[in-house]
Chains A and B, each alone.
Chain A
Amino acid sequence: MKGYPMIGTNRLHSPLAFSEILFQRMIPINAGIRKLAFYEFRYALENLYPKEGWDSIVIEKQNIIERAISSRKFFESILLKPIEKDRIVLDKTITKLTRMLFAGLVNGEYSAAWVNKFFYFDIRGFIFLPRTVYFTEAGVTHLGSKPHRCFKPQQTRFDTEQEIGYLEFAEANKEIDQAFIELIKQLIEIRGTPTLITLAGPTAAGKTEITERLLGVFGHLGQRTTTIEMDNFLLDREFRDGKPMGQGTIHFELFKQSLQDILHGEKITIPCYDTILATSSHDLEGNLIPGCTPLQVEPADIIFLEGNFPFHIQEISNLIGINVVYLTDDPIRLKRKWRRDVDYRKSIDPAHFRNRFFATQFMRAEDVYRPQIEHCDIVVDTSAAEIWMTPEVARQLDKK
């Protein structure tokens, strides 16, 4: 940075020295920082500059921070839409955490290794987010303690990107997706049709794309396929906010009945959820709202249930043929969401988006994915490029 004091310095508040040290210390934390000009880093940092200066930041002990980010309360306290001067702003807790980590990195209180272990830094959002644990001990045990197949992780190429588009994501997952498709083909051959395949996975993990490819493959083999997006069963967002994903967040009775009917070879009529307005075509009693149009789903040999739901719960688990969890790491999903939800769909305010992603990862993992992983048949981890399966599924496949 020497010899390049910023001309616009006088309109930036964060002192040059602090910014310079932080810029250097952030490089081992996020390789993408290297791609930024110092200017850009300073512009982004400016939004987080504390009114009373960086010295005013209280740096908490590491064990206190670790404890905080492992408690649900911490995430529940995040406000999704705090407003200042007409605009949605970043939640105070998120701001406080990132400031603290910045200040701690600069004064040497926190090492890069410690920060990396518990957090990842999203450049576009310019915040730290706690790393979510998906594979619990119980999950790993359930899946035979080691991955069934490993490939070369290709998503490392996204380390320096700020957002990720579909084409490059598909390209990176080519190998593992292909292996997963083969595996599903074999399982269906063994188990027969009609069958219901659930594909659960966090938002932007790549569920839609993999389902699309599976549909293509089976269509090619002359099998009738269809897909049901779980999102269509969602209740209006205002009735869901704050509730864990489960029977209380969807039109559950309609859902159960629909699964039974389609497995009996019947055509079904299901609700339609509007992602922009965040409302359902059906009211809370499960009746179609006048003026809304439901969706029709034809019967098929292979029915994909795409989306997030605790499919392992007793009321429906016996209806599910193959239960898959499709995982992609949080930092990658966040970059995909920047592209898709913020840039393309423009369906969410960027500050609201950051608050929501930060708040929900932990809770979703706890409510949905960890239990799912502990009960599912197969886990595809696209970021690690690994396929996991239960010993039972592995045995069935091996026999073949």
Chain B
Amino acid sequence: MSMPNNLSVPLVFSEVLFEKMKLLSAGILDLELYEFRYCLAELIPEDGWDSIVLDSIEAIETRINDLSFYENIQIKSREGNRIILDPEIIRLTRMLFVGLVTGIYQQDWIAEHFYFDVRGFIFLHRTIYFTEKALEHLGGRPFRQFEQKQKRFEFLQDIGYKAFREANAEVDQCFIQSVMKIIAARGTPILLAIAGATAAGKTEIVERMTAAFHDVSQSVTSIELDNFFTDREYREARGIDSQGKDAIHFNLLLQSLEDITKGKKISIPRYDTIDATSSHDLDGRLKPGGIPIEIEPADIILIEGNFPFLIRETLHLIGIKVVYLTDDPVRMKRKWKRDIDFRKKYDPNYFRNRYFKDQFIMAQFAYIPQMEVCDMVVDTTGAALWTTHETANILGEI
């Protein structure tokens, strides 16, 4: 492919790219050209931008929808003692930059298939959560639609809790009222499962629901599915990621859910997110020194996690199945703030690799299948509440 001249002069390249990226990602508007160049420095190819070979758009589309592409992303490769950004992620972003500057890739095409994370300075694939099957299951249109206030985050590089909560106030409120109405119709005790990707806002919504039930004198307890994880070392060594029954103390989970829905107090494992270890060994026995979590029975039992109703064996125990969705770009910005800035949980490169990889894999394995069987979807970014026909009937006009 012949390349126009502005590829061979790095300063010109960055200037043209800067202007084009402003149209693609509003967050870039907040940057000075200096800053943009600092970010870009990491991605400048050794042999210059004109050394980048562009794939056809068909080839790119195929690749970014292929599971093996994501499976091959190396999250912890090291150069010296630093974790590095995966070469495929670099290659994709470089290609899109060059394609954008030369005009070989249309801006609209890039925007349709990718989003750009300013802080990470990489392109990521846009995951489609509302598959045809999910849309059909949810009646083809939202039950309620509100103003999309997360649009204000387009200019931000990271998002804190307070701003996020404010933006979701309307849809969250409507969701809580709906759940209360369903519970009034179905009776208690009831197990309410909330599935959602990392940083979608599960913990906060559980928090708010708890407060709302307390206000009407109903007892509430909550179970974090994460607490059932087995040691990360074990999961990683066996190539089990973070989904499905192989990743958790499955028998303990099943027994716990059965017991608590019968009104019994339960004792569940405790997963330490810092050490990434469980209080229980692989046979489900408490490790010496491990402290389990005691959970009292309640009218409403909330269970939140990545896949609370993915496992067929537990489905019959769950009263209400909710998927709580927040778009990938927004979640990523939340994670920058929460997991990188506050928790300081990961190396930033490890985080970029893992997010790029997991968002696709987790969507395919966990969220899309759960959307196709759930009762409700809360789409915080779309500011919409979706329900099945059956649920809508219970809700009527609220």
A residues near B, CB below 8 A? Answer: 3-4, 6-8, 10-11, 35-37, 39-40, 43-44, 46-47, 86-87, 124, 126, 162, 165-167, 170, 208-209, 276, 339-340, 342-346, 349-351
* B271 engages A11 (CB within 8 Å): yes
Interface residues of B in 26-72 (CB under 8 A from A): 30-32, 34-35, 38-39, 41-42
Asked whether, in the complex, the Cβ of B342 is within 8 Å of the Cβ of A8, the reply is: no
What separation, in Å, do the CA atoms of A189 and B204 have in the docked complex? Answer: 63
- In the complex the two chains form, what is the Cα distance from A320 to B354 in whole Å? 52
Which residues of A sit under 8 angstroms from B337, Cβ to Cβ? Answer: 40
How distant is the Cα of A36 from the Cα of B158 in the complex, in angstroms? 13
Q: Is B22 at the interface (CB under 8 A from chain A)? A: no
Give the A-binding residues of B (Cβ under 8 A): 30-32, 34-35, 38-39, 41-42, 81-82, 119, 121, 157, 160-162, 165, 203-204, 206-207, 210-211, 214, 222, 224, 226-227, 270-274, 293, 337-338, 340-344, 347-349
- Tell me whether A7 and B42 are in contact in the complex, defined as CB-CB below 8 angstroms, given that A43-B338, A44-B343, A343-B157 are known contacts: no
Tell me, rounded to whole Å, the shortest Cβ–Cβ distance linking B279 to chain A: 11
Given A35-B160, A165-B35, A349-B82, 14 other A-B residues pairs in contact with their CB atoms under 8 A:
A11-B270, A11-B272, A39-B161, A43-B338, A44-B342, A47-B344, A165-B32, A166-B35, A208-B34, A340-B38, A343-B157, A345-B38, A345-B39, A351-B344
What's the nearest-Cβ distance from chain B to residue A226, in Å? 17
Task: List chain B residues, Cβ under 8 A from A162.
Answer: 341
DSSP majority for the A interface? helix
Q: Is the CB of A40 within 8 A of B224?
A: no
Determine the chain A residues whose CB is within 8 A of the CB of B42 once the complex forms: 345-346
- The interface residues of chain B, by DSSP majority, are classed as helix
Q: Contact check, B343 vs A36: say whether CB atoms are below 8 A apart.
A: no
Q: What residues on B are CB-neighbors of A47 within 8 Å?
A: 343-344
Contacts of A46 in B (CB 8 A): 274, 343
Question: Is A11 a contact partner of B273 (Cβ separation < 8 A)?
Answer: yes
| Residue ID in chain A nearest B352 by CB atoms | A346
Cα–Cα distance between A339 and B30 once the two chains are bound (Å): 12
| Distance between Cα atoms of A393 and B273 in the complex (Å) | 60
Residues of B within 8 A of A208 (CB): 34
B160 cross-chain contacts in A, Cβ below 8 A: 35-37, 40
List B contacts of A11 (CB < 8 A).
224, 226-227, 270-273
Considering the complex, give the chain B residue whose CB is closest to the CB of A170: B32
- Contact residue among A124, A166, A345, A349 (Cβ-Cβ distance under 8 Å from B341): A124
Q: Which of B31, B207, B347 contacts A6 (CB 8 A)?
A: B207
9 contacts between A and B (CB under 8 A): A8-B203, A36-B162, A39-B161, A126-B344, A167-B32, A208-B34, A340-B35, A340-B38, A345-B42
